[in-house]
Amino acid sequence: MVLSCSLNQNGTVKIPLTDADWADWTETPKFTVEEIVELIKSEGLPILSVHASRDVGSYLCSEKERDWEKGKRVIYGALSVAEGLGAEVCVFHLWDTWKSSFDLRNVENIFLKTAEQFPKVKASVENVPTHLEGCSPFKLVRSFKHVTLDLRWASMYNELDAFESIVGSLVNVHLRGSLKKTKWILEHSSFDFYEALNKIRNDWKYSGLLTVEPEGRIDGSLFRSFLQAMHSLKK
């Protein structure tokens, strides 16, 4: 299970009022990191991975030092949530996907210095798209100790096979797919959803976390199909 929350620069957590498509985010109640941790704990929910706000990449790739400080707070807050919940992994979108130029060394330094304060949590960098000149997602993530592989992004850049060389660094795999009857389909991809899953688990011998990220809306009428599709992921 993945806890996906949005951490403000001031360290508070935003949770939507409802799951409605057009929830009014201006009316969303705000919770501190400590409050959200206690809320989840009180429900007894096992949390294996936390996903940090995607704002962190925009902050860290900014030319303004005050934005770097905001980025540090987002990283710290997300890792605090993960540590408080006993989550093994915390996932980060570490760069601004649209920027063609930014100080990569500065981004790495800020991230690593903040992450080292939480040795119990694997601060993992996801292979999100990039416009950085001369780079691809794999080239950017391969030097990090902990990496999250997202199938959609690997398909977009035709880089799935490249990740076998760093399988020892993989701590989470995002299984992106659309629900079609009782199976998952990775549309507009050079590889099949189950083909990729089999390769990662059986050929690469990966045994870490798998996170299902459904694409498209899944309403109550599809719940039984959803359960069968989840069952299809078993070995």
pLDDT of the residue at 22? 54
pLDDT of the residue at 235? 67
CA distances in angstroms from 182 to 185, 211, 223, listed in the order given? 10, 18, 10
**What does the pLDDT look like over 153-169, one tens digit per residue?**
999 999 999 999 999 99
- Residue 175: is it exposed, middle or buried by C-beta count within 10 angstroms (0-12/13-18/19+)? buried
**Residue 191 falls in which region: left (phi positive, over 0), alpha (psi -120 to 50) or beta:** beta
Residue 101 tokens read as 């130029």
**What does the pLDDT look like over 30-71, one tens digit per residue?**
788 888 899 899 999 899 999 999 999 999 999 999 999 999
Residue 215 tokens read as 């694409």
First to last CA, the chain: 18
**What does the pLDDT look like over 125-151, one tens digit per residue?**
999 999 999 999 999 999 999 999 999
Higher pLDDT pick, 17 / 154: 154
